[in-house]
Amino acid sequence: MSKTALITGSSGGIGYQLARIHAEKGGNLVLVARRKNKLDELKSELEEKYKVKVHVIGKDLFFPDAAREVYDELKQHNISIDYLINNAGLGDIGLFAESDWDKQEKMINLNITTLIHFTWLFLPDMIKKKSGRILNVASTASFQPGPTMSVYFATKAFVLSFSEAIGSEVADKGITVTALCPGSTETGFHSAAIDGRRELRQRKLPSSRKIAEYGYMAMMKGKSVAIPGLKNKFLATLVRFVPRSLVVKAARMIQENKH
* Residues known to be catalytic: 152
Task: Compute the radius of gyration of the chain from its Cα atoms.
Answer: 18
Alpha-carbon distance of 35 to 86, in angstroms, equals 17
Q: How many residues does the chain have?
A: 259
Q: CB–CB of 23/46 below 8 Å?
A: yes
Q: CB–CB of 29/53 below 8 Å?
A: yes
Nearest to 14 by CA among 132, 229, 186, 167: 186
DSSP letter, residue 80? P
Three-class SS of residue 33? strand
- Phi first, then psi, for residue 179 (nearest 5°) are -105, 115
Three-class SS of residue 185? coil
Q: How many helices (H) and strands (E) does the chain have?
A: 11, 7
Alpha-carbon distance of 155 to 116, in angstroms, equals 12
Q: CB–CB of 187/208 below 8 Å?
A: yes
CA angle 46, 58, 90 (to 5 degrees): 100
